[in-house]
Structure 1
Amino acid sequence: MINLSEFHRYVAENQPNICQVTVVHHDRTMINDSWNGYQEDDTVHTMSVTKSVVSLLTGIAVEQGLIGSIDDYVLDYFPDYKIKRGEKTIQKVTLKNLLTMTAPYKYKSEPWSKICVQEDWSIAALDFLGGRRGMTGEFQYSTLGIHILTGIIARESKMTTVDFANKYLFEPLTIAPRKMYVAPDAEAHKAFTVGKAPKGNIWFSDGKGVGAAGYGLCLSAEEMSKIGLLCLKKGVFHNKRIVSEKWLEESTSARLCCGEKFRDMKYGYLWWIIDEKEKSYAAIGNSGNVIYINPKNRLVAAVSGYFKPTVFDRIDFIKEQIEEKLKNK
């Protein structure tokens, strides 16, 4: 059993950047608490939690027929793109490669200064897709490269990514609509990324109005818990089908092992697989932002945090301070 006052004190003393925690266990909200001056409906920049939300949006786009198949080649959706001279690999890259982080890129570290100054980040990311090494099947974690996915959703739906998400995901989840936020300059971009104050209902976007696919979405822990509940209920929320059960099953199944750098976790379609036996999985972002789903225990735990780099113990925190204690309830 969780003593709420003890839990609040533990978080304040041991997880100082946590802003909110929402926990739902067997359809009951067990924890809905806040720290660091945050209110229940304040939002944080969830960082790479955004990626898993984009996975859901991709599944919705597939279900609607906007995307034919994730086995389609990326360039099928950019017929006017001019391939660089000598570049052959890009023609072999599929949407599945983007979703599983097995797409090859022509860089060792993410080229923020070269992509984020462009108006159309999807085209700028395409310029870095491919390379001489070819299709290796290796895991190459990317935050900027997968912007191509939100670019495809915007192109095929004829809507901004944010409007698409509002209509087909957030509104059905009773999450307030997000608004696009385009940083006027590099300084504002950095301030958005590392700022510790609440963000508002926004999604960082490029100059074309395409929401960043790898980061940039701002949510509260309670809102993240609704996304977790949608997944726990196999794509249904308040008796309404939002995402197909088949897509959720596919996207949260382990596709490859990510190595020691990533704590030997496995990866699905922009979801981290925590425990294959329990079929638990999570959306994980920098600063320890997490949506954790364990179907076996009927548990959803959502944690929001202000910017603090290299927080690597948040899943351990959820398992030890929340999941284990609820098992003993």
Structure 2
Amino acid sequence: MNQEKMAVMEQKIDSDYRNIAGIAVQKDGRLLYENYFNECTAASRVHVYSVTKSIVSILIGIAVDKGYIKSAEQKVLDFFPDYRIKKREKTIQNITLKNLLTMTAPYKYRSAPYTKYFTSDDWITFTLDLLGGKGEIGKFRYAPLIGPDILSGVLVKATGQSVLDFAAENLFRPLGIIPPGSVTFGSKEEQMAYNQTKTISGWACDAAGTHAGGWGLTLSPLDMAKIGQLYLDSGLWDGKRIVSEEWVRESVREHSCWEEENLRYGYLWWIIDDQEQAYAAMGDGGNVIYVNTAKRLVVSIASLFVPKPKDRIEFIKTYLEPAFEK
């Protein structure tokens, strides 16, 4: 580590990235740096928002590996045979899991109906009712919250387990991550408090018990670093296969692009840099799992929510990576 550059990095956190809760940096599988801010500790768990999506992507991959799901090309409605398609609705019948994983599925809403979503007892049916419409399949449309829950429903239907139970058995416990508990909200105030939590180990779910696919999971920086290391090591953990190398490779290569923002997308992972094979799971508020394959580097940053946080990838590239170069 370059101590001078490390000091500059930490000064930058104090001045411009003050909502950071904790950072972990690993190189070649060794933990080189671990630090906490805002009265957080190694025991703290924070809501990582859309990092949850990348966890769900891994779970879909594991379900494919185990034969619960045939492939990413399988049609969404294969898993919901009892779902009643509305009259003249044809688009939804052709949407695949890959469309959900790459954010290339169309939806009927222009402005996301978040209030109705959060007060719904069944997020899956609510979201299925909004899937399809007149939009074009294959065109990128980022769905922050209303959309990924369908993948949670797919996991439940395919595996016969809750998303949390499947994750605990096949991902969390094998990586030494203590499985969180299920969390439901009785009010808007409870949900807002959860967004700022430092102490709750949880995964948000609806009244039907289905866990959120696009948000709602709390993790620590070390938990997040383990996920990043798993992907850096192509799906292996301590020599044991957790998810197939093929799924990891497909997850972190470009499948679609958010052209307006010049952001490229894999299977619920963001593609950062082709030359260094860098990619990231990113969540609102500045939560990130960053993997740089060329440098054998994993960076995890857990952050307390603030609106419009400063870019964490810019922070990593400008201040953090230089501090760990020889």
Q: For this structure pair, what is the TM-score category when the shorter chain's length is used for normalisation?
A: over 0.9
Matched, 1:293 2:284: no
Matches within 5 A, 1:164-203: 164-193=166-195, 195=196, 197-203=197-203
Aligned twin of 2:263 = 265
Asked if structure 2 preserves the Cα contact closer than 8 Å seen for 1:2 and 1:322, the reply is: no
Aligned twin of 1:141 = 142
Asked if structure 2 preserves the Cα contact closer than 8 Å seen for 1:45 and 1:199, the reply is: no
Amino acid across the alignment from 2:201: N
Asked if structure 1 preserves the Cα contact closer than 8 Å seen for 2:107 and 2:135, the reply is: no
Specify which of 287, 303, 306 is matched with residue 305 of structure 1. 303
**1: distance between equivalents of 2:87 and 2:136?**
15
Q: Which moved more, 1:282-291 or 1:116-125?
A: 116-125
Aligned twin of 1:95 = 97
| TM-score, L = length of structure 2 | 0.95
Matches within 5 A, 1:146-295: 146-193=148-195, 195=196, 197-261=197-261, 264-295=262-293
Aligned twin of 1:322 = 320
**2: distance between equivalents of 1:36 and 1:253?**
35
**1: distance between equivalents of 2:99 and 2:84?**
20
The C-alpha deviation readout for 1:220-269, integer Å capped at 9, x for no partner, is: 111100000000010011111101000000111111221233xx121000
Asked if structure 2 preserves the Cα contact closer than 8 Å seen for 1:182 and 1:204, the reply is: yes
- Give me the identity figure in percent: 43
| TM-score, L = length of structure 1 | 0.95
Q: Secondary structure at the match of 1:278?
A: coil
Amino acid across the alignment from 1:211: H
How many residue pairs match? The answer is: 323
Shift of 1:312: 4.2
Amino acid across the alignment from 2:102: T
**2: distance between equivalents of 1:180 and 1:59?**
22
Q: Which moved more, 1:47-56 or 1:155-164?
A: 155-164
The C-alpha deviation readout for 1:191-241, integer Å capped at 9, x for no partner, is: 323x2x304210111112221000011001111000000000100111111
**1: distance between equivalents of 2:271 and 2:310?**
15
Specify which of 32, 54, 57 is matched with residue 56 of structure 2. 54
Shift of 1:134: 4.1
**2: distance between equivalents of 1:127 and 1:257?**
25
**2: distance between equivalents of 1:199 and 1:253?**
35
**2: distance between equivalents of 1:146 and 1:223?**
22
List runs of 5+ in structure 2 lacking aligned partners. none
Q: Secondary structure at the match of 2:324?
A: helix
